[in-house]
Chain A
């Protein structure tokens, strides 16, 4: 019954008045920003992260987690009502959710999405509580060699499953790793790549990178876009789900939860992959696959449950091993480090109230979303209708003051400005920016483990393939690379030939 004791510690900390209040604020603000088309969870969290710096560690993390679920929920709302996916994980929600709304079932679609997500969230919370100690136990067996191999595997898989070109993804990871090395070297104390600026000795502020690459670049791309929005406003009396609809949604929700919970554990998995996989599964299993894309309830309920389950279980590798499986988790690790908590298996032992409090707050946050957001839908609809020219100056101002408040310095704003231009350049070159963030967060840790591993072996790189666990992980990473690169090379050669002919 250790699990329940632990959850008790967690609920004790999550249900304190301050933490409840900040969980609520996080969920509400997250939803409000996630609802704005074009701003996904990553951009939302990056925007609001500086506001959590002044809080106590548990409270800050609970608020960030709240922002994350809120942003996801907000993204689904926009997808259903406006047919504009706020983020990649709600692309699937657009397909059938918006069709339901067109048929006058917008309220039911929102309710199914909310209740499905809540169910998935509850199951995922229990899974996290149950699995994390086991995985952390594995983490304790790891030495620097294994950690280095694990990071290589994690980064490879995360890049592989992210969309876009694999080679460019790896290049982005390497770019991120390099940027992460700016600042004082832990071992020798030498200042690297600081170009004589003392303010760079602590490294580049990661919030500035995240805001520039995600929030600001997203805003730039959205300024031009056509702003006429066709909102399918549901009337509140329409919110109730009919019995037939509930019966139709039940099984897909359960399947989606299971699938999402599993996918979330994989590096690179999480919300988006889970929702795509669940949509494909439901379509395959459906007796009437032709209804998909025309408002099939299974096509909404399954992916919505899956993306929420995936979003939550992706916390497991982050909390127990310190390995981020996607961009959002990279931000969470950054937030942990801001609060002087080194992510890894030790968090559970050294900061149990943080660890279990965060887990318990996940459930609390999901419950708040269901209770508060369904009645608040009219408010959200009004928010979607606000013109973009009002929104982006507000977003920019909040971001700028936030960046300034990190260290009462304007330097992060300058960096964010630079990374906005870089983000636009990456967008132009079709290079996905999330892998860069993963690399940036892992950079210093990876170097540390790499150096220690080679110190142990007295400079012999063979240590990486002499240890069985490390060999297995590196081998798997290598295999994954081959799986992607070989067909690409073949296709490339074929294309080159056809071009010559």
Chain B
């Protein structure tokens, strides 16, 4: 029913997005030197692109308002936010706590909303992944990532 109530959402939403993004680009590029057509400054090309994009966005918006276009698809919100959050958790922890903390944290964060979540499964997977990362990335490819970050290992008393 939802799709029938709002048949034009996909075009309207994308039209607004593109028009907004284009206008923002154009506005921001005015901060830079525009130069002339013969000697373009850094602001000219982004300004042109931004103007084109916002015009195109308006065209898509108009089309969306005039005719029945595609319905917008419903994004699975929980997985989308859970996955993004797990990436952020990893990014924050990998530097300040080390790989041995960041990987389990990522695994738990991304699995918690899943119906398959069980603490023992997650723990086992996390341990195996930490070992895998150590063997492949740290030993094999020489990525400089501490398993435990220096402040943390000092705190533990190693």
Residues of A within 8 A of B (CB): 51, 54, 165, 167-168, 170-171, 174-175, 177-178, 181, 185, 187-188, 190, 192-193, 216, 219-221, 223-224, 387, 389-390, 392-394, 396-397, 400-401, 404-405, 408, 410, 413-414, 416-417, 420-421, 424-425, 427-431, 447, 450-451, 454-455, 457-461, 492, 495-496, 499
Do A430 and B32 touch (CB < 8 A)?
no
11 contacts between A and B (CB under 8 A): A54-B141, A167-B59, A174-B56, A178-B50, A192-B42, A192-B46, A393-B107, A396-B86, A400-B90, A405-B137, A499-B68
A447–B66 CA distance with the chains assembled, in angstroms? 35
Whether, in the assembled complex, B10 has its beta carbon less than 8 Å from a beta carbon of chain A, the answer is yes
Q: Which residues of chain B have C-beta atoms less than 8 A from A165's C-beta?
A: 11, 70
A7–B147 CA distance with the chains assembled, in angstroms? 45
Whether, in the assembled complex, B153 has its beta carbon less than 8 Å from a beta carbon of chain A, the answer is no
Do B76 and A224 touch (CB < 8 A)?
yes
Residues of B within 8 A of A (CB): 10-11, 13-14, 17-18, 21-22, 25, 28-29, 32-33, 36-43, 45-46, 49-50, 52-53, 56-57, 59-60, 63, 66-68, 70, 72-76, 79-80, 83-84, 86-88, 90-92, 94-95, 99, 102-103, 106-107, 110-111, 114, 116-117, 121, 125-126, 129, 133, 137, 141-145
Closest chain A CB from B62 CB (angstroms): 10
Of all A-B residue pairs in the complex, the 7 with the closest CB atoms, nearest first, are A459-B38, A459-B37, A429-B14, A389-B116, A185-B42, A413-B91, A223-B79
Q: Which residues of chain B have C-beta atoms less than 8 A from A397's C-beta?
A: 90, 103, 106-107, 129, 133
Do A171 and B18 touch (CB < 8 A)?
yes
Closest chain B CB from A273 CB (angstroms): 22
Contacts A174-B56, A175-B21, A192-B32: A454 and B38 contacting too (C-beta < 8 A)?
yes
Do B73 and A428 touch (CB < 8 A)?
yes
A148–B84 CA distance with the chains assembled, in angstroms? 37
Do B141 and A405 touch (CB < 8 A)?
yes
A450–B46 CA distance with the chains assembled, in angstroms? 12
Q: Which residues of chain B have C-beta atoms less than 8 A from A389's C-beta?
A: 111, 114, 116-117, 121
A187–B45 CA distance with the chains assembled, in angstroms? 12
Closest chain B CB from A28 CB (angstroms): 14
A458–B37 CA distance with the chains assembled, in angstroms? 8
CB-contact partner of B73 in A185, A219, A430, under 8 A: A430
Do B145 and A461 touch (CB < 8 A)?
no
Do B91 and A410 touch (CB < 8 A)?
yes
A496–B126 CA distance with the chains assembled, in angstroms? 56
Do B59 and A396 touch (CB < 8 A)?
no
Q: Which residues of chain B have C-beta atoms less than 8 A from A400's C-beta?
A: 87, 90-91, 94, 102, 106
A403–B14 CA distance with the chains assembled, in angstroms? 29
A223–B53 CA distance with the chains assembled, in angstroms? 33
| Chain B contact residues, majority secondary structure | helix
Closest chain B CB from A442 CB (angstroms): 12
Do A175 and B18 touch (CB < 8 A)?
yes
Closest chain A CB from B121 CB (angstroms): 8
A414–B84 CA distance with the chains assembled, in angstroms? 9
Do B37 and A188 touch (CB < 8 A)?
no
Q: Which residues of chain B have C-beta atoms less than 8 A from A190's C-beta?
A: 32-33, 41-42
Contacts A405-B143, A413-B91: A174 and B52 contacting too (C-beta < 8 A)?
yes
Q: Which residues of chain A have C-beta atoms less than 8 A from B53's C-beta?
A: 171, 174-175, 178
A190–B102 CA distance with the chains assembled, in angstroms? 37
List the A residue with the shortest CB-CB distance to B39.
A455
List the B residue with the shortest CB-CB distance to A454.
B37
Do A421 and B80 touch (CB < 8 A)?
yes
Known: A401-B133, A413-B91, A420-B84. 8 other contacts (CB 8 A): A165-B70, A188-B41, A400-B94, A410-B94, A421-B84, A427-B73, A447-B45, A492-B67
Q: Which residues of chain B have C-beta atoms less than 8 A from A451's C-beta?
A: 40, 45
Do A417 and B103 touch (CB < 8 A)?
no
Q: Which residues of chain A have C-beta atoms less than 8 A from B143's C-beta?
A: 401, 404-405, 408
CB-contact partner of B87 in A177, A390, A417, A460, under 8 A: A417
Q: Which residues of chain A have C-beta atoms less than 8 A from B76's C-beta?
A: 220-221, 223-224
A168–B13 CA distance with the chains assembled, in angstroms? 11
Do B13 and A429 touch (CB < 8 A)?
yes
List the A residue with the shortest CB-CB distance to B124.
A390
Q: Which residues of chain B have C-beta atoms less than 8 A from A461's C-beta?
A: 37
Q: Which residues of chain B have C-beta atoms less than 8 A from A413's C-beta?
A: 87-88, 90-91
Do B72 and A429 touch (CB < 8 A)?
yes
Q: Which residues of chain B have C-beta atoms less than 8 A from A408's C-beta?
A: 143-144
Q: Which residues of chain A have C-beta atoms less than 8 A from B67's C-beta?
A: 492, 495-496, 499
List the B residue with the shortest CB-CB distance to A389.
B116
Q: Which residues of chain A have C-beta atoms less than 8 A from B70's C-beta?
A: 165, 430
CB-contact partner of B60 in A171, A219, A428, under 8 A: A171
CB-contact partner of B13 in A51, A387, A428, under 8 A: A428
